[in-house]
Amino acid sequence: MRLLLFGTGALASLLGARLARDRRHTVTLAGTWPEALAQVAACGIEAHEPDASFTSRPAVCRSDGPLPDADVALVLVKAWQSARVVAPLRRAVERGAAPFTFQNGLGLRDDLALALDGPVGLGVASVGALLEAPGRVRSAGPGRVALAAERALLPCAERLARALSETGTPAEVEADPRATQWRKLVANAAINALTALHGVPNGALLTRPELRAQMEAAAREAGAVASALGVDLAADPAELARAVARATASNRSSMLQDLERGQPTEVDALNGAVVHEARRLGLSTPVNERLWQAVLASGAGARA
């Protein structure tokens, strides 16, 4: 399979390294971060898994330059970087690539579909990854990817799920993309902002009673919004958040990593999105509102 990954951050590096280790696949990382592109081109990606380490060598290219032909194009950039990938993604799709977004938050898939005037598949990744340096990534475990796609992209989604599963990232195609997306949003809204604000790994939210209570309250608020939209999470929202925190206990959330680097965060697309949807529906989400505003006030909010 020919895979084009837009992004050179933690998740793109980890998935790219895993996929490129299987020589049946041709993998290219497309981005604009010069240090990452140069490091991967020269030395490959050094991936550290809990039980082993390996180096694999995907190809690289600038996303604003010539792109290789691909069967699938995966969008793995941060929510606030989404607009930057539209033009190169359009070029990839025009050359036959099936587009999938693995981004966090609400609305980004719809925005990309509108910009491309065509369907965009959804990938919801529960994969803990820490970018220690350009071209060096550490995994918290295999994680899981849920894929959803409209009929036209379904064969590509099934091929992509097989490729991911066979290279170390369990993946499956799910029928309801909204439920898939909202389950991830509930967990992210409950976990990421709290870990970022308190500088703790995910598991600390389970062991510190005051943080656990806030996590569960944020999850329940997000779950109530999902329910009002007719989305069946098929699980208790608080337990969804607890399960993710347990499964990724040692992981430092992407929002915490962003705050530590002084970079913009995805809080607008997570807690902010919950608040906006709640307001539209006439619901109150005070915990998510506080978390959203607190991250913005920290000096590294979503606005680049």
Number of C-beta neighbours around residue 286 at 10 A: 12
Q: Which H/E stretch holds residue 258?
A: helix 254-261
How far is it, in rounded angstroms, from Cα 189 to Cα 271?
5
The answer to whether 92 and 63 are in contact (CB under 8 A) is no
The torsion region of residue 175 among left (phi > 0), alpha (psi -120 to 50) and beta comes to alpha
Please say whether the beta carbons of 46 and 13 come within 8 A.
no
How far apart CA 124 and CA 104 sit, in angstroms, is 8
**Catalytic site residue from 184, 212, 242, 252:** 184
Does the active-site annotation cover 184?
yes
User: Which residues lie below 8 Å from residue 274, measured CB to CB, with a gap of 6+?
Assistant: 185, 189, 221, 222, 225, 285, 288
Residue 259 burial (CB < 10 Å; 0-12/13-18/19+)? buried
Q: Cβ of 124: how many Cβ atoms within 10 Å?
A: 24
| Residues with catalytic function | 184
